[in-house]
Amino acid sequence: MIELLDTIVRGTGLGALYALIAIGFVIIFRATGVLNFAQPIFMIFGTYMSYLVAVQWGLPFPVAVVIAVCAGALVAMACERVALRPMVGRPPFSAALVTVGLFAAGLVVTTKLIGHGVITSGDPWGLSNFCLGGERREMAVAITGVPAACDGGVSIAHTDLAKIIAATLAIAALGWWLTRSRYGLAMRATASDPEVAMAQGISAGKVFALSWGIAGAFAALAGVLLGTAPGGVAALGALIALKAIPAIIVGGLDSVKGAVVGGLIVGLSEALTKTYQPGIAPWLGSNFDIVMPYLIMLVVLMIRPQGLFGTKEVQRV
């Protein structure tokens, strides 16, 4: 039972990370109808900016978070203005191919910035854990800085707790903003019917830029949280963000709520598979947890193609 609870906490933290990235996909898709494959680049850029500010410049970690999130939003808005705005009116498939090009170019740039090593934003939460419902074996401390084992309780890592809290606060703020602010209502109106929204005086260009800015900010926040992981993050860590694609397919491509639920399903399935599959089905091989989110995605596509919370396309006959 303790192992199960420990796995659930770890999977929820992972799912919170995927949910932040998946929401960026959904926000852009709802506003522009384009699936943005450049989202991983904004995430790894957030990782690099937090490392630059917190480690290289020596500023406090909260300042690094703010700068990384703002920088991620600005870079995303610049990409939209330079590369995607000229594609307005073109087929969404063509615009999606442009985002693939942005992803490839961004991966080259971030690899130049980060190099072939790994970076980490330091140790803002101690990279430690606290013992819930058990006791520490104080005499078992053998390595300085490494907490003792938790007997009879669940070890909850501070990094997982930070991911869950940060994602919850960010998603709640976005939900409040979308429903209460003027720009949030404009985004919802444009996503619902762009032509009617423009007829009412809503600037589609501002809505597109805003949606990319929000997506970039959420991806950068996910990158900041990823950058605090023990062991550091390499430039190719951007590929982690692609696991958000199964999350949005499972939850529904046009649903913010679906992105959250899909992210949690993917994170929990990955963590549970990593813990129990080697003992239950070792014949599946190592690293099967990486495949699990895509298997779930295939099953959902066969049963409910629009996802759990997605809008079913209506066809007139």
Among 244, 307, 250, smallest CA distance to 42 is for 244
d(C-alpha 121, C-alpha 14), whole Å: 18
- Residue 280: the pLDDT is 86
pLDDT by residue, tens only, the chain of 317 residues? 777 888 888 889 889 999 999 998 998 888 888 888 888 899 999 999 999 998 889 899 899 999 999 999 999 999 988 888 887 777 778 888 889 999 999 888 888 888 888 888 766 766 566 776 666 666 555 555 555 667 666 777 778 888 899 999 999 998 888 888 887 777 777 766 767 777 777 777 888 888 999 999 999 999 998 888 777 788 777 788 788 888 888 888 888 899 999 999 999 999 999 888 888 888 887 888 888 888 999 999 898 888 888 777 655 55
Decide: 84 and 32 in contact? Cβ < 8 Å. yes
| H or E segment to which residue 130 belongs | strand 129-132
d(C-alpha 135, C-alpha 138), whole Å: 9
Decide: 157 and 10 in contact? Cβ < 8 Å. yes
Decide: 289 and 273 in contact? Cβ < 8 Å. yes
Q: What pTM was computed for the model?
A: 0.88
- Residue 313: the pLDDT is 65
- Residue 7: the pLDDT is 86
- Residue 205: the pLDDT is 81
Phi, psi of 148 (to 5 degrees): -70, 160
- Residue 173: the pLDDT is 92
Decide: 211 and 27 in contact? Cβ < 8 Å. yes
Contacts of 116 (CB under 8 A, 6+ apart): 234, 235
- Angle, vertex CA 313, rays to CA 191 and CA 296, nearest 5: 100
Decide: 240 and 292 in contact? Cβ < 8 Å. no
Q: How far is CA 68 from CA 52, 61, 71, 233, 306, in A?
A: 9, 10, 5, 16, 34
- Residue 134: the pLDDT is 67
| Domains of the chain by residue range | 1-137+146-240
d(C-alpha 218, C-alpha 61), whole Å: 17
- Angle, vertex CA 40, rays to CA 37 and CA 44, nearest 5: 155
Tokens of 179: 């429903």
Q: How many CB atoms lie within 10 A of CB 190?
A: 25
